[in-house]
Structure 1
């Protein structure tokens, strides 16, 4: 379904069949504002530069897509150009850190380097562009859970394969040079699990259900001696403060203090009966994250304050993400296909779009909703569209891009 807000179309088809339709200006693409927190995941030395990369005066934001057959394309949000990046195996899931796409396929996890990234140096940012490329496959069996940090040229990336139980820690700096290098690969029991990078360490899950334990590991795979219970571990995200892991009794926040891995418990509020958070999302790197609390509402976790807030859901929701701006807004995808701007204090609807993705949701194809500082991006798999939304301007649809293929998986890259 196309938005009734769209009024003009750029004539002619771009490569790969993308056609841009616009009712507003191009997103300015500025990054997240500085805070007092240091970025997690690696040292600031080098400012994210990689040999052969070009440093830019502003981020080169784009939408990198993978269709059901594995065809990879990249839409440049600054000039509207579209580039084909090759193909991977038919994906069943895709994760991203804002530069790389980790596509789960029949062979394992195939890694796509979009060639665009931002280095967060706390009080300022550095922006880079290099040649995009396909980096190869991390071999593994069964569904994969990928955990990333906010830095794409240092630190590590974690991959856990449910079919085999293998726990893999990838060298992210090596990825930035075009190499797939495993820091460690540990045997485990088949089933769900996680490998969560935290600075030069990682947390690896052991056990299942209410007996799940987070085990601290060095980059070489050796145990640090840290073992922290995390019943029914599900969901992880990295903020400016540290790495979050969801547990049925709250969350665990992992940081590095004086070169030691530390885990803090953040329990749910006393008496809370809402379903626990099992998947987190936010504007990349910001301290506050959001998650659905079953059908009852929305959980907000402020990792700076180490505190949860439960908000009522104004309507049934399919997804929620924390913008974490001065107005503490949230973005949500309603189950009827609308994108909602929510008040972060009350959960009330501040603004909304038309039902942009009703057909996709009806077909069981959950769209991707991405928040950055200025705009939001929504994929419409069945409708064959990508939408750019201005949450601060009454949820106006600023631009839409008609795709010649289904945008099954979408990541905003360059941020």
Structure 2
């Protein structure tokens, strides 16, 4: 009788996250790919493993690295625990990003879902911030110099940059106060904010009636349990198994203990920030660390609030034409961005050729305009020749931004060698 009561309580809790009955189309795996549920699962895994890691970790510049070594070498399953935590965190960044763009491309951010889009952007920021603060905690060469690079970039933000960088680092450079501050952010403030944002996110999804679907006259309804809950359980088990197996065979990276006076060559930002690092090699720091990121963020926030003559909620890419435009835009952006990187490295070199010009113009305004003008011509072509409507143009702009960042990120990760030179040009 007790087992039946426990089963009923669990069932009621699960069903509280969903309506009792849902549209049968919502159970199709290719509708959401389970990304939201996977992100929630990974967050839970990170909370549990993070709490266990706190028993061994010492947030001190003199002892942090040694506590990681002790965890790896002296604690039974300690290395596995750290691996699970690390790879779950890396996967969470990828899954959260994919979930965000899935919601956008399936046109699920309009009308009553606008507020949830903003919470989604907030969650993306919190996930990246949590990863970034946790990145420093091993206190090895990899983490120390990655955080040094990113916090130094903040100093280029006009008016508040230096103050903001000092506030985050708790000093003029990365040191023990930075480690302690990042530790408290990573294990205290950010998890609390994530719990709040995730709770609001799920509540707003439930309030909106579940995932967005194309409107039809008589949708077929099915019971949430077992049609949806069993599928969620299968996906959860698969994700847990994959993370466990990967963590058994692949260790989380750990280099030598941090040496503030010895910089590795090349010094790299965390992989998810490599796009920013690559961007800063081609434009003035004020543009790379402030103007462009702020403009992109403002655009993403504004997307669901723009007035559109027509919307197809729940329809991927808005239309078949929108799907084709998305593919063209992704290819155009990737090829054009890579060509821009090559030409800037090999030909233009604005800072050298226009050394007498103010840097804000020669390495800021000029390269930015040389990128924006062809993109504008591409948008004009789609509007005039392909009769793209407003939402399809917004999809195009979003795709160009995402594809450009991914291209810069991959270039920074795989094609930059010593001195951050392109490896095939300086072999």
TM-score, normalised with respect to structure 2: 0.23
The structure carrying a bigger helix percent of its residues is 2
Based on CA coordinates, which of the two structures has the bigger radius of gyration? 2
The structure carrying a bigger strand percent of its residues is 1
